[in-house]
Chains A and B, each alone.
Chain A
């Protein structure tokens, strides 16, 4: 009996963060009243449909193609993909069929500590469709349907991977890395839940060692990273059992049912597979010059991979920490910003990864929603380094900062948390504690080292934890060894 491996290729759609649509001046803002962000161009009204290219969208796409190591097409050219559907106002979608903006790129990410490279077959720019809502299950059985054209014409970038992905986990890691790169570029917010990032998967299985591809199914309707993982996992397993039972996989489009945790074959395709693509006669090709590419290159920030390299090599951070920090641009930017106040990579990264992320996770918050500023954390760490407060008190202060957004100095001041580093004061307290605990002194001198800990605890209790621990240790030791 054969062992089977899963072969996956992903098609990812990403809505670009331009202010206006791809071919008209309508707003792309999410969540407006239905059909309020429309015009003759994006509604396909006769006589009013001449498309006016939003150059920003093209620039964003070139930026992404460069970041994904693609070859860039010599011109921006658009084609018509012809089909009929109620959410498609013109009866064709303007897309890039003959000249995708980028080709032959790749993405790299770590799988079990090893670098995995997945090819990018192509990356292209197209317009989004409107949004249908059906009364009932689907458009066929529905007595009526509503269409919102606010989304029609929003610039959409499609990234098509090579079938290089071998597991649901790899698919998830690929998507995470892709999302991270796109967010670094600041060209899309990539929110799967809001639909600004959508992913379809082509899945097949084949005997290990085979170089031919098996019959594939296309899996749709996965609306989160988790459902991409679960959907692929389920579908690959389903195909395995189909093949093992002696049948063959039917090439079809399948729908991921999140609630039931299964994939189902969709009703026969409503849409013809023959799109009759041809160059859109209303859009003259626009040359992509080397100068323009260089200009766009200059706007690309340090990407996750480069940043990871800097953090591990220059800042000497462990790879796991660097990976966490670079996974999101906001987090990595935050780290760098704290460093500019307190230049101690190890300390800063530890605080971010264990304390800050811990608090964020517990609160179910995103870093962008947090009240903590890099300057605030920097100042806090400075206070600890200067011995103004202990690390333990620092954590309390940080929690307070997290909750209120207040300045650390203010919190320390207000709550009287400043560390006691005054030798006279501490000596007085130590004497008092020793006087009250003669038994412990006895124990210590008999060799019970644990008594020392008890005495320190008592001193901290007296000072409400504000005593400088190093100083307490030193003074106490001197006193006991007298």
Chain B
């Protein structure tokens, strides 16, 4: 059976109709997860019990003839998102044994709708980048070619069709560009659209839980499930949630849209020719589809990554202050409190994370507070204004997703940089809290594709999905064998 090739709605329909049993799905998902874990190290650890438990719950509900919109749908959960019955490590030694006594709101919603978590996916420690090299639990390999990084275990698992979709945090674009490394679409919703309750805090003003899935229709179905106000997240919004799947079915609603492209889009450091070519070809295609494409001046867009990195470092230094060995996580005993802190954090955190936190501590202290941190906050305001005013005249902003294809795991030229230069095109949406979608388009690369990206107005995810669907039709989803 090829359940894994189904879009989630079709799969749920079959499960609800009892044409497919949850047990069959469970076995299939477990087999594929084990395979992709072996090949890519996609999970923190492969845990068939988590799948068994999920299948048991769903089987009971199906036996009671409940109709669940996501019945039998499996998902990977980034290890920064809390779920019961297992650890949440953020790929850090610090949290190797941490078992949260609560579940993320998104997980509760998905379970209610009949989906089940199949595993906690690997990631760079605390999601600070998607190099695939900064996990305490080992490198994350690209399912298209294991010499290359997958960026994140979520991207590896979804692109290999081990799970139907994955949820992962997006702080500067990690969700979107790791999805692009592996040739799958991804959506970062508007800030506040999806509850962050249960997502481990790193940079709360930038972080948003996003979705990776094999197809745009899947993204729509999952967005519908996890969106909406959550009284447990003070930054979530009570904005109406439309039926995204229905909107995608009404074909006459799609485009043509007015699309803006920053005139200096090609100035990104490390921009590869293959990516450039794929982007330009897509631009031509959009024009052919009667999209009105216009070059615009966004002078501050190029500062978005460094701006986001500064703010992220300061917020992360603060948000990771709770890792002190007192109440949970790794404790390395010292002769006094200060030494216990120092030893616990020295041994619990990886070197890249420590560099980043040190950077955050430095730029928020003394005179640097005004010289660096406050300047970045001002720049953030400028970037937000620039994007908002641009999106008053245009439906969408169109840019690449990431300047380069998935880097080789053996190469060190980009991986050591702070911040991860892969976030050049993605960080702006985090700064402004705007929704963004990335879609793979054909290109010469390890995954055979390159990611392109639309950024939309706040809470206008519908348009992003519609534009994404249009591009996808030209390039039906492909996936590597595991």
Q: What residues of chain A have their CB less than 8 Å away from a CB belonging to chain B?
A: 40, 43-53, 80, 82, 84, 86, 89-92, 139-140, 145, 147, 270, 274, 276, 278, 281-284
Contact = CB atoms under 8 A, between A and B. Distances in A.
B468 to A, nearest CB: 29
B200 interface: yes
Which of B90, B102, B322, B369 has the most A CB atoms < 10 Å from its CB?
A: B322
Contacts of A145: 337
Interface in B42-98: 80-82, 88, 90, 95, 98
B234 A45 contact: no
Size class of the contact patch on chain B: 35 or more
List the 10 shortest-distance A-B pairs measured between CB atoms, nearest first.
Answer: A91-B321, A281-B205, A44-B322, A281-B204, A47-B82, A276-B364, A46-B200, A47-B200, A282-B204, A90-B322
A281 B205 CA distance: 5
Contact of A84 (B199, B204, B321): B321
B234 A51 contact: yes
A139 B336 contact: yes
Contact of B102 (A44, A48, A281): A48
Contact of B201 (A52, A84, A282): A282
A153 to B, nearest CB: 13
Contact of A82 (B104, B234, B318, B373): B318
B101 A274 contact: no
Contacts of B198: 47-48
6 contacts: A44-B322, A46-B88, A46-B329, A48-B198, A84-B324, A281-B235
Contacts of B197: 48, 50
A86 B101 contact: no
A140 to B, nearest CB: 6
B318 A92 contact: yes
B315 interface: yes
Given A44-B327, A47-B81, A92 B232 contact: no
B322 A50 contact: no
Contacts of A44: 322, 327
A282 B233 CA distance: 8
Given A84-B324, A91-B324, A47 B104 contact: yes
A44 B320 CA distance: 10
Contacts of B200: 46-47
Contacts of B366: 274
Interface of B: 80-82, 88, 90, 95, 98, 100-102, 104, 196-201, 203-205, 231-235, 314-315, 317-318, 320-324, 326-329, 336-338, 341, 361, 364-366, 369, 373
B98 A46 contact: yes
Given A48-B198, A274-B365, A40 B318 contact: no
Contacts of B369: 276
A282 B234 contact: yes
A46 B169 CA distance: 14
A140 B339 CA distance: 10
B318 A49 contact: no
A40 B88 contact: no
Contact of A284 (B90, B196, B234, B338): B234
Contacts of A90: 321-322
A89 B322 contact: yes
B317 A52 contact: no
Contacts of A284: 234-235
Nearest to B104: A47
B230 to A, nearest CB: 9
Nearest to B204: A281
A234 B104 CA distance: 55
Given A84-B341, A90-B322, A139-B336, A47 B88 contact: yes
Contacts of A270: 338
Given A47-B104, A84-B321, A91-B322, A278 B364 contact: yes
B322 A278 contact: no
Contact of B314 (A50, A274, A276): A276
Nearest to A132: B337
Given A46-B100, A47-B198, A84-B321, A52 B234 contact: yes
A89 B329 CA distance: 13
B314 A278 contact: yes
B328 A46 contact: yes
Given A46-B98, A50-B197, A89-B322, A282 B235 contact: yes
B318 A276 contact: yes
A300 B213 CA distance: 57
Contacts of B196: 50
Given A47-B82, A48-B102, A50-B197, A82 B321 contact: yes
Given A46-B201, A47-B82, 13 more contacts: A40-B100, A48-B100, A48-B101, A84-B341, A89-B322, A89-B327, A91-B324, A140-B336, A276-B317, A276-B318, A281-B235, A282-B234, A284-B234
Residue in B80, B81, B197, B366 with the greatest tally of chain A CB atoms within 10 Å: B197
A56 B101 CA distance: 28
A145 B337 CA distance: 9
A168 to B, nearest CB: 35
Contacts of A91: 318, 320-324
Nearest to A23: B234
B318 A47 contact: no
A82 B318 CA distance: 6
A172 B204 CA distance: 44
